[in-house]
Amino acid sequence: MKRYVLVTIISFFGVLLSSAAFSSEEGHHGDVHWGYEGEGAPFLWGSLKEEFATCGAGKSQSPIDISAVAITGLPAINVNYSATPLEILNNGHAIQVNYGAGSSVTVGDKIYQLLQLHFHAPSEHTFGGKVYPMVAHLVHKAGDGSLGVIGIMMREGEENALIKSLWQHLPAKVGQKETVASVSVNAVDLLPKDMTYFSYSGSLTTPPCTEGVNWMVLAAPVSVSADQIAQFTAVLSGTARPVQPLNGRVVSLSN
C-alpha cells in the first residue's frame, strides 16, 4: 500500500509540474552569519550559535520531500483574511510582507492569526523530488503560541496580480523596508481555489529552526510569470534550506 501511494503522489505532482519561515533575525557566531552557502551554510546552522542547536539536533525539521502520504480526513482551512497596508522588506533571507492585526485562519478548533508572508526561491518543500521556482509561506500564530504555516508553491505561467502589486515596491537592498500606506494587499488573493493540503509537524526553515510548527502545504500551485520570477531572483535566489529527514513522521493529505 505504501508503495502504491508513493507512486500515485509522485505521478500526481508530475502532472501538476508539467502543466504548469518564518524568517528570524540574522544570527552569528563570531563573524560567521547564517545563510545558504559557505561558512554559514544550512548544514552548519546548528553549530553557529547555541540558540540554533535544534537546527542540527532536531528530529522534526523542515522542509521535507513530500512523497508517501496518508490520505485522511483533515479539517478544512477556513480563511478570514482582510486587506492590510503594504509593508514589505528584504531581510537578506526572504522578501517579507508584514501583516496587520485581524486576519486569521481557523483549522479545526484552532484559530491562527496571520503575522506575515514571505517568499523563497526556489521552493523549500519538494514533491517527489520536484522543485518549484518559488514558494510563499504564510506564517500564523495561535493563542497558545503555536505556529501554523501555509505553504503555496508557485509555478511559471500567467502573471500573478498580487505579486505584480508587491514587486512594484520590491526592496532590492538587504535591510531595506518599504511602507506604502496608499497600497493595500490581501493575502487571500494569493490562495489557489483548491485548498487541499498536506499536513505534518515540522519546524521553522530558518534558525532557530523551532519545532512544533503545523505545516499546511497546499497541493495546488499558483501561477507567476517568468518575468515575476526573474524580478525576484535578481534580488534574492538560492534561499532554500535543503530537505530534512522525515524520521518516521507521517504526512497526511486531506481528502
- Is 118 in the active site? no
* Element spanning 56, H or E: helix 53-57
C-alpha grid cell, residue 216: 499546511
Strand, helix or coil for residue 116: strand
C-alpha grid cell, residue 1: 500500500
Task: Give CA separation, 144 vs 44, 62, 64, 211, in Å.
Answer: 31, 21, 25, 15
Pairing of strands 84-90, 32-33: unpaired
Q: Cβ atoms within 10 A of the Cβ of 243, count? A: 17
d(CA 65, CA 240): 13
Catalytic residue, from 28, 29, 33, 93: name it: 93
- Torsion angles phi and psi, residue 163, rounded to 5: -60, -35
Positive/negative CA dihedral, 41, 146, 212, 109: negative
3-class SS letters over 152-180 = EEEEECCCCHHHHHHHCCCCCCCCCEEEE
Q: Which residues contact 185 (CB under 8 A, 6 or more apart)?
A: 83, 84, 86, 97, 162, 165, 166
Q: Which residues are catalytic?
A: 93
